[in-house]
Structure 1
Amino acid sequence: MEAHQIRIPVSGTPAAAAAARRQLADGIRAFGAFLGPELLDAAELVAAELIANAVRHATDGPITVGACLSNKKLRIEVNDANPAVPQVGLPNVDEEGGRGLFLVAALADRHGFDPLPPGKRCWAEFKVSTPLPTASHLPLQRSDR
């Protein structure tokens, strides 16, 4: 499978975050690889959480979201200008928010962040298994033996 990549700028509003999530999900589906509905749903939810955190916590500065698909993994990245390190944890039961990174940790195979000047890159990766070729894609075999 060849590598595919998409990058989307996000303005710092909740409406822009929702639009970027939809654009990213559509872009991943447009890669044309069979990823399966469970992986696509998990990737969309993880992207939504990472984008929402960037919009909620980033200082003034650009936010970008991206995805890269290779033969071994689907990687989702969100870059923002806030250098604060994201914290995974569970909030109190009566709090409405604060569970996003817990969901990312539960759904992704790997996740983390990388410091960047002037902010950071938060990322999540999903293992991708290449499906076996279907009978229509197998080479024809001679049967004259």
Structure 2
Amino acid sequence: MAGLEGTEQPRRHGSATAARWSPAVEDERALKALELFGNPTEAEVPLPSRPESAATARRLAQVVVLRQWGLSPKMTEDAVLLVSELVGNAVRHTGARVFGLRMRRRRGWIRIEVRDPSRGLPCLMPVQETDVSGRGLFLVDKLSDRWGVDLLPRGKTTWFEMRVADR
């Protein structure tokens, strides 16, 4: 066809798109993220301050919370969502080049932390049904048992904690 060289051909619905995402593919990506970036339960994992790091942080949370800690799918889903919100805030609002991700578990609790070099405090804003942004801390406030910010000499750590049943 003349004039179409180099243009993207339309994709067929179905197999080409469906092959891109599946639980097995997502598990593989999560394990690859763990291999590439490190385990946030062992030490703080530095991640580049780019929007795609939210996906990496979600994958790390998925593999840690679900596989290593063996928590329920619902708790994993909530933790993954909240990690994404904290990472999104660090990427959008801090001007950092890198931020740190850390996940801890102690008797009855999990704690997930995002450290960045900004001392600007996050602000919990009232949320309306029609709002298209600004819901991040609202979700953290609603889905976690507690959350907060620890100011550091150079930056801050924003964290949330969730109660878990110990086996």
TM-score range, shorter chain: 0.7 to 0.9
- 1:43-122 to structure 2, matched below 5 A, reads 43-91=79-127, 94-122=130-158
* Structure 1 residues 37-76: Cα deviation after superposition (integer angstroms, max 9, x where no partner): 1111111111110011001111234301111112220000
Determine what percentage of the aligned residue pairs are the same residue.
34
* 3-state SS, counterpart of residue 64 of structure 1: strand
Q: CA deviation at 1:26?
A: 1.2
For structure 2, list consecutive stretches of 5 or more residues without a partner in the other structure: 1-39
Higher helix proportion, which one? 2
Whose RCO is larger (CA < 8 A, sep 6+)?
Answer: 1
In structure 2, relative to structure 1, the CA distance for the partners of 1:130 and 1:16 (3 Å cut) is: same
TM-score when normalising by structure 1: 0.79
Q: CA deviation at 1:93?
A: 5.1
Question: Within 2, Cα distance between the matches of 1:40 and 1:120?
Answer: 25
Check conservation: 1:77, 1:123, Cα contact below 8 A. Answer: yes
For structure 1, list consecutive stretches of 5 or more residues without a partner in the other structure: 132-145
Check conservation: 2:54, 2:88, Cα contact below 8 A. Answer: yes
Check conservation: 1:66, 1:76, Cα contact below 8 A. Answer: yes
1:124 aligned partner: 160
Equivalenced residue count is: 127
Check conservation: 2:66, 2:73, Cα contact below 8 A. Answer: no
User: What is the root-mean-square deviation of aligned Cα atoms in Å?
Assistant: 1.8
2:56 aligned partner: 19
TM-score when normalising by structure 2: 0.69
